[in-house]
Structure 1
Amino acid sequence: MAPPELTQWLFNPFYSQARDTEHRRLLVLTGDYEWVNQRLTSLLSDIPPSLIVKEIGGETSLLRKHLLGNECDIGVVHSHQGFNPGNMMAIAGTIRWGGCLILCCPALASWHLHAKHTHLSHGFKATQSLYIKRLVAIIKSNADVAVWDGNHRHIPDLVGSDAPDSSNNVNPIEPEGSIYPRVSKNAQATQPLGDDETRKPQFKSLDQQLAFDCLTNRWSQDIRKAVITAPRGRGKSALVGLFVASRLNKGEKVAITSAIRDNTTTLFKHIRLGMGLLNSEDKDQAGQSSDCTANPPDSNDTEPDAAKSATKENFSIKKGGSAQWLAPDNPTLINGDFDLLIIDEAASFPLPVLKLLIGAHDNYVITTTLQGYEGSGQGFMQRMLPAFETEGAVHLSLRTPLRWPKHDKLENLIHNICLFEGTESLNTVSDAPRQVLQEVSRQAPQEVPREVPIEVPHKPSTNKCSNDYRMGLVSALSEHQLQSVMQLLATAHYQTTPDDFMRLCDSPDIILFTEWNASRLTAAAVINCEGGEVLADVQKGIADGSRRPKGHLGAQRLTLLTAHPETAAYRYWRINRIAVAPYLQGQGIGTGLIRFIKSQALSQDIDALTSSYGTSYKLNKFWQQCGFKLVDMGEKPNKASGETSALVVKAISERYRPQQEILSCLFAYSQKNESVLLSALPDIVRKTLMKKLQHFVNATRPLNQVGFAINALAAELSVSNKYISNAEKSTKMPTKMCKNETEAVTPQLLLLLGSSPLPTNQLIQLLNVSGRKALTDALRKKVRYLLSCVMT
């Protein structure tokens, strides 16, 4: 049974006539799984049907990508099976005025000791979660957070109060759906707090109106490119919907795309609101519905009929305008004839897809969320916004919250917890949490490799400025330093998420390098400790491709390249991320930080530094200038960035230099355009390729890792009279080289096997197999026979 005072605290804002000024709240239900779920069921058992509850993190709850564009009154985060910061940020962004986020979690006192670590690299252990410990410290020190466990409860503003007021036992105010505040019977909208009196009634904030006017003016001047950014709940969907409505009324054809179809429900609702196709009763229904259909009503529909389809994704009007939602991979988006393209939540799109869509349209409006769980809006702005502005696109930013009040307590709290991107809230942490967090840092066990110091200040004697380099653990950072590091990483990298920061705080194999100028962070690098003794039990399996333990990305790729278990036994520092403050880039700061990392790696007896990155002219030049050698290139572009990955290595110890020479030699020969005979290769390269081919035959190494080896093997056999007679060569007819049908090899097959890259479609046709898996199986048999010919 839920305590009456807690029920009153939870539901009172929903009964308030001024709900649109009520802050949102956080309730923590903490204890064992069964107790928490029983109390949650009890608390929500009498919830009015007009209130919307959404859950995330449970076995049957929503995936967070489906929460974009939705709203609710109560959001529930289930954390007993593992805490996910992105889930909490996602559902918090859907909660509207006076609503509540309910966090269901293990007992606060011991949660950090039993947190599930799904990100640990092989060979590393974590006995606690420093991220969770910090989260609990913030919760305990915040008087506005309600906490209910088996022993006591804390209820803000109601401690020691009387029983609930019986006068509140009435039906709650009906929610309006979406971002619109209550509208009185005479249809005059209530002004949000602090808004300008000159704001037009169809807009819910002055900056929304100014953005609409700017878009309209630009379009009238035939400058038709725009990017709209804002944190969650600022009315981007409403703004775009109203703007699309204005274009439809001019007879234009509009295409709308998003990663998830249902995420545009609010946008389509506002299109109809802007066109006057919804009455007040329709607004609630449209705001809450997620049952979208793809069938457009007939163009001759009357306005009342159109209003009935308030959430449909396709529709047209008598004036000739039309709007339709299309999936990002729909060819019509590229080939169709549209007057305007809308891309909703662009930061959630892979860059190649985004660039392809933009390249196919002259007129577009792109929206993206800042502080978004689906990806770093700041990273998007660093990577893509300059390109848009070069094309003449206007950048519009919305700041006024419409789904909750300004300076909302829950929004501030979530941003402080998630350490995600720069906001005003990051400077408003009270002194009490800082004192607790400092205690957390002092008590944190230093679970990193024994050779890593907690912090090593370093000031080169030739450096006349106040910059200093530091090496240490994330747990040793002060709150201010922690926020600075997380914000820089979010700004510098595309699609950084809050989950990345939890891994950074809790992974025992991570070291942080930073450069500071006084109290300002200028650069940071995240280092993963890889290889060495922790891989001793799996290094043979890594070398032949049969084992892929978690983590150790650089060490594993290098071991696969050499096909030698000893490669995994060396100790590596992989530079996972390196970021320089945007306003300081191009001044040698990143290069200086790399020099410091090299010096510390040498003192810590590290064998080599590695890094994997998306290739570009700028980055290739940077790593080359830092003395790194390119030893591997990915075959396919990364789905998110569109860039092909490169692996670079820098020998630190003398014992590793022969290993780097082998890697460089292997890479150099693999990049040759012409066929190279197996016998013409250096001895170490030939032996390595033979090992890889044997691994392929044994079905432990995939086909995409032996293309060069198959090329060399086929080239060797194609020119050797030992395997094909002169008569057979002169006829140029496919002649079997063995009696076994499954091992039959012909000159035509050898010709294809000698081509780079391997022509898979032609091989499939020649071998009469179906699909890549069947082709791989067939080639294993062919390669087994070819190897036997070479070794005889």
Structure 2
Amino acid sequence: MTQNKLDQWLNQRAQEPVQRQLLVISGEPDWAISQAQTVLYRLKLTCHLWVGEGAADNIQANQYRQYLGREYQALIYNAFDGLRASALAALSGAVLQSGLMILLCPDLQEWPTYQDPQKAQRISYGYLSQASHSHFVAWLIQRINNDPAVAFYSKEGFNGTNVPLLPFSEALQHSLSKTATQQKAVDSILNIVSAEKPDALVITADRGRGKSSALGIASAQLLEQGKEVLLCAPVVSAVEQVFAMAKTLYPRAEESRLTLTGAHSSMSFQPVDRILAEQPVADILLVDEAAAIPAPLLKALCERYSKVVLSTTIHGYEGSGRGFEIRFKPYLREKHPNHDTLHLLQPIRWQQGDPLEAFWFSCLLMTKSRYQQVAVPNESISYQWFRGKELVHSPELLHQAFELLVNAHYQTTPDDLVRILDAPDQRLYLLTSDGNVLAAAQINWEGNKALDEIATEVVKGKRRVKGHLLPQRLGFIFKDAASTKQRYWRIVRIAVQPELQHQGLGGKLLRQIEADARDLKLDFLGSSFAASEDMLKFWQKAGYQLVHLGDKKDASSGEVSALVLNPLSKKAKQIQTRLISFSDQLS
């Protein structure tokens, strides 16, 4: 009976137009791999990407960024080799319409306690033995079981129904573009070139919306018009689709490495650093995946070229989409007040309401929460802290808190959701009012006995372990072994709802955290962050003292790093005085 159900499901997928879906194959590793190979053979899915063991041409999860922007009929993710949430989210976007994403995993009863090989990459040194149960996996299983569009296959049975494609719309049958907004993007790019004044355009989209194709369509038309098109991106692979589309639509162009040349025109790719150094002449500069380029470099590009298009993915698979919003958009509004912004909403590689995208967006909390914008009096505010186990059972609070952290911090990714739920050295502190999260802070336990045996090696720079940022950095910078052995809480991230900022909520949350830290006899509270003027003022106002300022700018933020401390114990105060004195001598 099980085989009959699976056969019927596969036959329907092979014969009828269906949407992208997730198939979970659960069981022993060899059996699961064998079944996945059979599914690929039955459906003739020869263009596929295999992550983890199971295929000769497989890749590892940590290589996922190299495959963004590519397209496959199927994506097989072997979770026996470890879960990487950011890879799952990003690579799901590489599956074409009617394609399949296959997730191989242990028996669902055993999976939360499975010894995940990736666990050591997200759990701080000294805490691995305490991370015997994955609350993230429990969260994932819950969503697998509750989503009717997810197909599930094990030795005990098969359960799943195919989701049919909706009728095809022919509204744009005479256009090169596949959606109205994509055509608008193409027209806007062409208008920038023909305009007399300097201009800028920002194109944002989730994956699969055709933004790179829009750049390629516009580039082909510009080549026909005899224009010089300059293209850049953080990596060459990000623009493969742009070149492929331009070459298809302008076949007369001669193609050489990273260049298309027409009779009196050209389109070429150059790395950002070379463009800034050589400043080649161009009628327009197209920047794809702009969010992954440091904001200072984007600013420099906009200062050197008067006509610029910046295209970027907005969901933070790489933890950079929001950085573009937070760190670059204000500059653009100031320097190019008349710039246009266009958001591509309708998918092109799959249909609106696609089951696979909807599953991962929901599971990894990439959808909008039900937070209600409120202005609350102080007496209605509640203060709570949570570990992963409690958060799994408070999904709406978790959703709101994670959304807030993603929007406020450009480096927050789906991998951070896994750490929040699974890492025994983490706590999540919330200020809430009537079920609405007003402010959130992510806390790490650091130092103490975990580093006792390796303190000397840390100070000498011979050892660096996972986590424990504050004690390791202090010990190494100041050559102070005592600082590595203290008990720390590091505020990894803190955020307040934008409309409630400058009302003292962040300071209130820090005071509550400090009260708890004192009750637990901790030595230090501290944080490390990109040292903008506003951030330094916030921490210093909260009673934290700057003890170290980096000398190199971070590639993502364009700022140097700052390290601030708030000593809680008598010994901590003595250590901090010594560190500051030493820092003054160095400067």
TM-score (norm 2): 0.89
Cα displacement (A) at 1:226:
1.0
1:234 is paired with a residue whose SS is coil
Check whether the contact 1:632–1:667 (CA below 8 A) recurs between aligned residues. Answer: yes
Cα displacement (A) at 1:233:
0.7
1:329 is paired with a residue whose SS is helix
Distance 1:14 1:402, change over 3 A: farther
Q: Partners in 2 of 1:487 and 1:526 — Cα distance?
A: 13
Distance 1:157 1:354, change over 3 A: closer
1:575 is aligned to 2:550: no
Check whether the contact 1:7–1:43 (CA below 8 A) recurs between aligned residues. Answer: no
Q: Partners in 2 of 1:581 and 1:623 — Cα distance?
A: 17
Q: 1:122 aligns with which of 122, 125, 140?
A: 125
Structure 2, gaps ≥5 residues long: 371-375
Partner of 1:338: 282
1:32 is aligned to 2:28: yes
1:80 is paired with a residue whose SS is helix
Cα displacement (A) at 1:352:
4.0
1:466 is aligned to 2:461: no
What percent identity do the matched residue pairs reach? 31
Letter in 2 for 1:486: F
Letter in 2 for 1:482: L
Q: Deviations over 1:724-772 (max 9, x none)?
A: xxxxxxxxxxxxxxxxxxxxxxxxxxxxxxxxxxxxxxxxxxxxxxxxx
Q: Partners in 1 of 2:216 and 2:486 — Cα distance?
A: 57
Q: 2:413 aligns with which of 497, 518, 523?
A: 497
Distance 1:92 1:313, change over 3 A: same
Letter in 2 for 1:121: S
Check whether the contact 1:230–1:368 (CA below 8 A) recurs between aligned residues. Answer: yes
Partner of 2:48: 53
Letter in 1 for 2:309: V
Partner of 1:314: 259
Check whether the contact 2:51–2:58 (CA below 8 A) recurs between aligned residues. Answer: yes
Check whether the contact 2:19–2:351 (CA below 8 A) recurs between aligned residues. Answer: yes
Partner of 1:212: 186
Higher radius of gyration, 1 or 2: 1
Partner of 2:37: 41
Partner of 1:111: 111
1:156 is paired with a residue whose SS is coil
Q: Partners in 1 of 2:173 and 2:236 — Cα distance?
A: 32
Partner of 1:374: 318
1:407 is paired with a residue whose SS is coil
* Structure (1 or 2) with the greater strand fraction: 2
2:345 is paired with a residue whose SS is coil
Check whether the contact 2:387–2:420 (CA below 8 A) recurs between aligned residues. Answer: no
Cα displacement (A) at 1:464:
4.1
Q: Partners in 1 of 2:244 and 2:277 — Cα distance?
A: 22
1:536 is paired with a residue whose SS is helix
Partner of 2:207: 232
Partner of 2:373: none
Q: 2:354 aligns with which of 396, 408, 418?
A: 408
Check whether the contact 1:200–1:209 (CA below 8 A) recurs between aligned residues. Answer: no
CA RMSD of aligned residues (A): 2.7
Cα displacement (A) at 1:262:
2.8
1:583 is paired with a residue whose SS is helix
**Runs of at least 4 residues of structure 1 off by over 6 A?**
none
Name which of structure 1's ranges 649-658 and 544-553 shifts more when overlaid on structure 2: 544-553
Q: Partners in 2 of 1:609 and 1:268 — Cα distance?
A: 50
Higher RCO (C-alpha 8 Å, min separation 6):
2
Q: Partners in 2 of 1:557 and 1:248 — Cα distance?
A: 52
Partner of 1:153: 158
Letter in 2 for 1:73: Q
Check whether the contact 2:550–2:562 (CA below 8 A) recurs between aligned residues. Answer: yes
Partner of 2:176: 202
Cα displacement (A) at 1:250:
2.7
Check whether the contact 1:632–1:647 (CA below 8 A) recurs between aligned residues. Answer: yes
Check whether the contact 1:535–1:569 (CA below 8 A) recurs between aligned residues. Answer: yes
Q: Deviations over 1:72-102 (max 9, x none)?
A: 2211111111111122112210112221100
Q: Partners in 1 of 2:42 and 2:454 — Cα distance?
A: 55
Check whether the contact 1:121–1:552 (CA below 8 A) recurs between aligned residues. Answer: yes
Q: Deviations over 1:458-517 (max 9, x none)?
A: xxxx96452222222243231111111111111111243211221121111011111223
Pairing of 1:336-735 with structure 2 (within 5 A): 336-392=280-336, 393-420=339-366, 422-423=367-368, 464-477=378-391, 478-671=394-587
Check whether the contact 1:527–1:577 (CA below 8 A) recurs between aligned residues. Answer: yes
TM-score (norm 1): 0.67
Q: Partners in 1 of 2:11 and 2:75 — Cα distance?
A: 13
Q: Partners in 1 of 2:342 and 2:459 — Cα distance?
A: 52
1:551 is paired with a residue whose SS is coil
Q: Partners in 1 of 2:503 and 2:585 — Cα distance?
A: 35
Q: Partners in 1 of 2:298 and 2:486 — Cα distance?
A: 40
Pairing of 1:182-331 with structure 2 (within 5 A): 192-193=168-169, 197=171, 201-221=175-195, 222-275=197-250, 277=251, 303=252, 313-318=258-263, 320-331=264-275
Letter in 2 for 1:74: A
Q: Partners in 1 of 2:378 and 2:33 — Cα distance?
A: 60
Q: Partners in 1 of 2:527 and 2:502 — Cα distance?
A: 20
Q: 1:23 aligns with which of 11, 16, 19?
A: 19
Letter in 1 for 2:268: Q
Q: Partners in 1 of 2:9 and 2:320 — Cα distance?
A: 34
Name which of structure 1's ranges 581-590 and 2-11 shifts more when overlaid on structure 2: 2-11
Aligned length: 565
Distance 1:572 1:408, change over 3 A: same
Q: Partners in 1 of 2:231 and 2:390 — Cα distance?
A: 47
